[in-house]
C-alpha cells in the first residue's frame, strides 16, 4: 500500500480489526536516559522514513541454548553435531498467537501483509514507515540526536505498545538504540610509509619455547607480519587445503572498503603464494566495496585474516548503512543500524563460513539490554549451526571509547552517574569468542586491551572456575563497586595487537588495535578447522566451552601487563585466565594435537 494513503485509512482499518484500540491501551515498553555525549536537536521530520523492526519472542530459545552447549561441549556425546538452519529456525519461531496479534495491531494502523518482510524464522517483522506514523503507533517523539563527535541519529528515548501486546513484542527498533558501533583499531597508532618486511634484522632470533622451532625472528618486536604470527603461534609449515568446504569471512561496516590492489601488495610482501588470489565480496543491505576509498580497518581484517588462512576460500561481507545520518533529501531513510542488517542476512543463508571475525563494537551501556540480548541470541543461533564468531575486545582497557585513559569518563548511564568500568558489546556476549591484545616477543598484555565483566549477561558456567580463581586472587576491595563480579567475563583469548604491517593506499602502513587480534585469531581457527575437516571431523563452531575445558592446554599464558582506564591501572594479566588477555594466545601446533 502507498504510505501517502495510510493517514486517511487509519480509521477504517482500525474499525475492521477486532483488537483493543491502539490509542487507549498503550503502556510504556521501554524508556531510557540518553547516553552521555548525545544532545537532542531538532524534531525529526514526520515524513522521514525509518526501517522499523519488531522482535517477537523466540518460543524455544532456552532449548536452542541447550542444544548449543551440547554440540559445543567436547565431553558431550553430541559434540560437533551442529544444527541445520531449518532446525534452528524451528526452535526460535514465535508462537502463532504472537504473530497474529502483532499483525492485527499493524493492520489497525493501515499496515498489511504486503507491506511487511520477515526473518526466516518469523521472529522479526520489518516495515518501512514515516516517522509520523511510528510516533502515532508507539506514542513516541522522535528527534535528531547529535553526538559530541558529530554523529547523528534519529531516535526516541521512550516508546509504548498496546497493553495486550507486551507479551508478544520483545522490542522495537530503531527507538532507544544509541550505539555508535565503532571499529576497534586505535586512532593513535596508524603510521603510513613504513618500510616493507622483506628482510629480517641482524639481531639474533628470540627464544620462545612455544614457538615454531623455539624461535621468533627479532624483527617481530618491531613489525608484525604473517610470518611472525606463524612463528610465534607455532604454525610454520602447516598448509591448508582450498577444497574441503572450509571457509573464513570478515565483516565490514561504516563505509570501510577492502582494496584488492593493496591486498596484492600485501601478499607480494608477506604471502607470495597467495599473489593473484583474492576474496569474495558479499553485499548486505546495499553495501559497497569502493576501490577508490580503501579503509584501514577493512584492509587490516582481510589482509591478515586471509593471509594467515590462505588458500582457504574467503569472504568479505560489506554492509550498508552508516552514521553520520543527515536527514536531507538525499538521505530519505535512517539506516544506521548496519550490524542488525548483517545478522539478519547471515541467518537467512543455508550455508555459512565456519569462521567469521568482527572488529566493531561500542560501550555496552549504549545498547538497550533488550537489543543486546536479542543480538546475542542471534550469535547463539550461528554457534549452534557450527560457526565460530570472533570479536575484538576493544581498545580502551576497562574504560569507555576514549583510547586515552587519562581523559575517559566512566560513568553509569542510569541517571546516578556512578563511576564504574564500562564493558563493551558485542564483546560481552557469552556466545562469542572475544579476543584481547598482546605486544612484543615474548608477549605481554598491551595497555589498551579491552576486558572486564558484563553488566548485562551473567557469567556462563563454562568459564566460572577460571574466573572465580582470578577473582579469589584479587586483593580484598580491589576496584570495589567498579565492576560486576558475577558478569560474563572477557576476553576469552588474545593475540598480537600492535605494529601490524598492512598496505593502505599503496603504501606500507603500521596499525594497532584489537582489530588486529580478532582476524589473527580467526585465521588460526580456520586452520584448525581445516585440520579437523581433513580428518573427517566437524568444524569447531562455538569455541568457548572447548577452550575453557582445556584448562590452559594449547595456549600461551600471558602473565604481565595491565589495561588501565577510568583513572585506575585496570586489571592485571596474571597466571591463568585474566580480564586482559583471557586464557592467553594460542599454540596452534599443540591445540591441533588436542582437537584432531
Binding residue positions? 557-558, 576, 578
CA distances in angstroms from 436 to 223, 359, 525, listed in the order given: 19, 11, 15
Transcribe 347-369 into DSSP letters: HT-SS--SEEEE-EEEEGGGS-H
Q: What H or E segment, with its residue span, contains residue 63?
A: helix 61-72
Feature table: binding site for Ca(2+): 557-558, 576, 578
Q: Which grid cell sits at 490?
A: 572477557
Q: Which H or E run includes 539? A: none
Closest CA to 106 of 177, 54, 70: 54
Whether 337 is a known active-site residue: answer no
Backbone conformation region of residue 428, classed left if phi is above 0, alpha if psi is from -120 to 50, else beta: alpha
Instruction: Pick the closest to residue 363 from 325, 397, 405 (CA basis).
Output: 397
Q: Which three cell numbers stand for residue 203?
A: 639481531
Task: Assess contact for 519 and 304: CB atoms under 8 A.
Answer: yes
DSSP state of 161: E
How far apart CA 401 and CA 182 sit, in angstroms, is 9
Closest CA to 370 of 141, 94, 169, 590: 169
In sequence order, which residues have a C-beta less than 8 Å from that of residue 299 and are 6 or more positions away?
258, 259, 262, 263, 266, 502, 503, 504
With H, G, I as helix, E, B as strand and everything else as coil, classify residue 405.
helix
Q: Which three cell numbers stand for residue 182?
A: 565503532
The four Cα atoms 122, 128, 131, 134 give a dihedral, to 10 degrees, of: -30
Beta strand spans in 131-208 (E): 143-147, 152-155, 158-162, 171-173, 182-183, 190-192, 206-207
From the candidates 65, 139, 269, 297, give the one annotated as an active-site residue: 297
Kindly state the cell numbers that stand for 51. Answer: 526501517
Q: Are 231 and 217 in contact (CB under 8 A)?
A: yes
Are 111 and 127 in contact by the 8 Å Cβ rule? The answer is yes
**Catalytic, out of 301, 395, 492, 498:** 301
Q: How is the beta sheet containing 500-504 ordered, strand by strand?
A: 190-192, 507-511, 500-504
Active site residue 90: no
From CA 532, how far away is CA 525, in angstroms rounded? 11
Return d(Cα 300, Cα 437) in angstroms, integer: 15
Q: Count of alpha carbons within 13 Å of 394, Cβ hemisphere only?
A: 32
**Phi, psi dihedral angles at 205 (to 5 degrees):** -60, 150
Cell output for 452:
572486564
Q: Which of 515, 526, 530, 539 is catalytic?
A: 515
Query: Is 136 labeled as catalytic in the residue annotation?
Result: no
CA distances from residue 7 to 4, 110, 126, 133, 200 in whole angstroms, order as listed: 7, 8, 19, 8, 71
Residue among 432, 436, 435, 433 at smallest CA distance from 449: 436
Which residues are catalytically annotated? Answer: 297, 301, 515
Amino acid at each position: 500500500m502507498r504510505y501517502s494513503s495510510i493517514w486517511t485509512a487509519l480509521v477504517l482499518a482500525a474499525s475492521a480489526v477486532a483488537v483493543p484500540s491502539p490509542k487507549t491501551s498503550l503502556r510504556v515498553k521501554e524508556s531510557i536516559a540518553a547516553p552521555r555525549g548525545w544532545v537532542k536537536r531538532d524534531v525529526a521530520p514526520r515524513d522521514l522514513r525509518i526501517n522499523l523492526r519488531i522482535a517477537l519472542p523466540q518460543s524455544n530459545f532456552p532449548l536452542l541454548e541447550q542444544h548449543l552447549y551440547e554440540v559445543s561441549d567436547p565431553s558431550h556425546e553430541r559434540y560437533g553435531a551442529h544444527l541445520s538452519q531449518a532446525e534452528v529456525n524451528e526452535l526460535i519461531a514465535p508462537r502463532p498467537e504472537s504473530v497474529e496479534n502483532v499483525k492485527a495491531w499493524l493492520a489497525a494502523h493501515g499496515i498489511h501483509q504486503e507491506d511487511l518482510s520477515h526473518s526466516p524464522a518469523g521472529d522479526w517483522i520489518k516495515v518501512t514507515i514515516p516517522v509520523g506514523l511510528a510516533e502515532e503507533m508507539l506514542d513516541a517523539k522522535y528527534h535528531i540526536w547529535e553526538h559530541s563527535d558529530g554523529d547523528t541519529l534519529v531516535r526516541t528515548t521512550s516508546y509504548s505498545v498496546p497493553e495486550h501486546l507486551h507479551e508478544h513484542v520483545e522490542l522495537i527498533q530503531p527507538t532507544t538504540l544509541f550505539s555508535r558501533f565503532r571499529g576497534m583499531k586505535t586512532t593513535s597508532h596508524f603510521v603510513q610509509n613504513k618500510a616493507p618486511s622483506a628482510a629480517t634484522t641482524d639481531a639474533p632470533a628470540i627464544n620462545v619455547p612455544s614457538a615454531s622451532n623455539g624461535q621468533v625472528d627479532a624483527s617481530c618486536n618491531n613489525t608484525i607480519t604473517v610470518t611472525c604470527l606463524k612463528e610465534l603461534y607455532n604454525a610454520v609449515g602447516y598448509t591448508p587445503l582450498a577444497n574441503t568446504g572450509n571457509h573464513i569471512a570478515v565483516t565490514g561496516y561504516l563505509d570501510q572498503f577492502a582494496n584488492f590492489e593493496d591486498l596484492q601488495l600485501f601478499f607480494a610482501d608477506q604471502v607470495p603464494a597467495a599473489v593473484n588470489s583474492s576474496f569474495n565480496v558479499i553485499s548486505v543491505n546495499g553495501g559497497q566495496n569502493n576501490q577508490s576509498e580503501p579503509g584501514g580497518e577493512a584492509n587490516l581484517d582481510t589482509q591478515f585474516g586471509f593471509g594467515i588462512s590462505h588458500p582457504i576460500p574467503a569472504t568479505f561481507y560489506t554492509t550498508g548503512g552508516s552514521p553520520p545520518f543527515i536527514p536531507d533529501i538525499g538521505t530519505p531513510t535512517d539506516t544506521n543500524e548496519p550490524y542488525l542488517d548483517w545478522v539478519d542476512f547471515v541467518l537467512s543463508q543455508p550455508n555459512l563460513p565456519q569462521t567469521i571475525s568482527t572488529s566493531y563494537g561500542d560501550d555496552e551501556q549504549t545498547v538497550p539490554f533488550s537489543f543486546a540480548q536479542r543480538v546475542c541470541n542471534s550469535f547463539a543461533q550461528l554457534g549452534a549451526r557450527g560457526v565460530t564468531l570472533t570479536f575484538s575486545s576493544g581498545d580502551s582497557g576497562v574504560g569507555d571509547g576514549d583510547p586515552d585513559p587519562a581523559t575517559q569518563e566512566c560513568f553509569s548511564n542510569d541517571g546516578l552517574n556512578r563511576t564504574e568500568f564500562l564493558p563493551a558489546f558485542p564483546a560481552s556476549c557469552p556466545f562469542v569468542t572475544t579476543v584481547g591484545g598482546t605486544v612484543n616477543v615474548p608477549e605481554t598484555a598491551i595497555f589498551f586491551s579491552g576486558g572486564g565483566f558484563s553488566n548485562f549477561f551473567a557469567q556462563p558456567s563454562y568459564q566460572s572456575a577460571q574466573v572465580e580463581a582470578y577473582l579469589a586472587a584479587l586483593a580484598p576491595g580491589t576496584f570495589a563497586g567498579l565492576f560486576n563480579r558475577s558478569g560474563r567475563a572477557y576476553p576469552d583469548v588474545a593475540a598480537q595487537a600492535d605494529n601490524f604491517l598492512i598496505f593502505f593506499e599503496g603504501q606500507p602502513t603500521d596499525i594497532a588495535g584489537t582489530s588486529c587480534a580478532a582476524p589473527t585469531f580467526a585465521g588460526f581457527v580456520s586452520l584448525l578447522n581445516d585440520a579437523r575437516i581433513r580428518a573427517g571431523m566437524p568444524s569447531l563452531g562455538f569455541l568457548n566451552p572447548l577452550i575453557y575445558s582445556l584448562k590452559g592446554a594449547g595456549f600461551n599464558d600471558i602473565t604481565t601487563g595491565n589495561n588501565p582506564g577510568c583513572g585506575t591501572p585496570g586489571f592485571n594479566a596474571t597466571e591463568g585466565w585474566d580480564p586482559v588477555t583471557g586464557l592467553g594466545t594460542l599454540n596452534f601446533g599443540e591445540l591441533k594435537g588436542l582437537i584432531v
